[in-house]
Amino acid sequence: MRRRHDPARPLPSEITPSERYYNRREIMASLAALGAVGMGPASAGAASARLKFARNPQLSLNEAPNSLEDITTYNNFYEFGTEKDDPAKRSQKFRARPWTVKISGEAARTGTYELDDLLRPHALEERIYRLRCVEAWSMVVPWVGFPLGDLLKRFEPNSRAKYVAFKTVLRPSEMPGQRFPVLDWPYVEGLRIDEAMHPLTLVAVGLYGQTLPNQNGAPLRLVVPWKYGFKGIKSIVEIRFTEKQPPTSWNLSAPHEYGFYANVNPSVDHPRWSQASERRIGAALFAPRRNTLPFNGYAEQVAALYRGLDLRKHY
């Protein structure tokens, strides 16, 4: 009898060769020269630096990640263009160093911080997360970073800080997509503060054990695994604590399609496509689709954040 494929399990064609991914000893042997955060130079044209990190098994999926090629050539980063391969093709001139991040708003400690000063106290960890992309595609990514909540606590947000707003750098000379009014630049994003403080929410500075490539949001980006792929603002230059719900770029652009929350909800269709199933990026053309899970499979950890909230209205 022919066995039916379980859509919850990866197909052989989806699995990264183990010798390519799990050979950590060779990677770890090269880390001694890296700084306290484990980051080397990430200027334009420089090769990605290897990172010092420990894998977090408690917050990682037991699924093989997508290949590095999949992850770095299929991107939503409209600052470099609207096609999925535009960021990889058009981001070579982007300079991710030097870099500063402005901290502002409802917090005791604000100011502008050099990237190294911002990141140095934080130990890096690897987490393998599933991200569901817009248009019902998904991929599994081995991110390297640290909890966003650990960073935010350093600035001592006050009782009026109900939300956290983020802003992407504005550099049309290096980001050709910003020369066109596809969105209202610079790109902005926001979370409720309890979402931002949740242990799953990550500041990513690398993937596959190396610093982030430009097309994936160098030098630091947001990763919220229970939300759509667009809720992952890249190349962050400002973090602001606010009392009122901040604007987000996709909600400003198409409020009838994109709400503030952007939680994965298979029972509520996007106006232009179904949310009920998804296809793994890199899978064979006729591979079976997978059922989309509520909150992208993280319901046990995050559903309580939205207790009493109508997720059809607050989408």
Task: Specify the higher pLDDT residue, 7 or 190.
Answer: 190
Q: How far apart are CA 118 and CA 11, in angstroms?
A: 40
Counting Cα atoms < 13 Å in the Cβ hemisphere of 55 gives 15
Average pLDDT, integer, range 272-288? 86
Grouping H, G, I as helix, E, B as strand and the rest as coil, residue 227 is strand
Pick the closest to residue 205 from 87, 101, 105, 282 (CA basis): 101
Give residue-wise pLDDT tens across range 235-277: 999 999 999 999 999 999 999 999 999 999 998 888 888 889 9
User: For residue 47, what pLDDT band results from cuts at 50, 70 and 90?
Assistant: low
Task: Provide the token pair at 232.
Answer: 């992952």
Amino acid at 260: F
Q: How far apart are the first and last CA of the chain?
A: 43
Query: Is residue 263 helix, strand or coil?
Result: strand
With bands split at pLDDT 50, 70 and 90, how would you rate the model's confidence at 133?
confident
| Mean pLDDT along residues 180-191 | 98
Per-residue pLDDT band at 285 (split at 50, 70, 90): confident
Task: Please count the other Cβ atoms lying within 10 Å of the Cβ belonging to residue 102.
Answer: 15
Question: What is the SS3 string spanning 38-72?
Answer: CCCCCCCCCCCCECCCEECHHHCCCCCCCCHHHHH
Q: How does the average pLDDT of the chain come out, rounded? A: 87
The highest-level CATH class for domain 12-306 is alpha beta
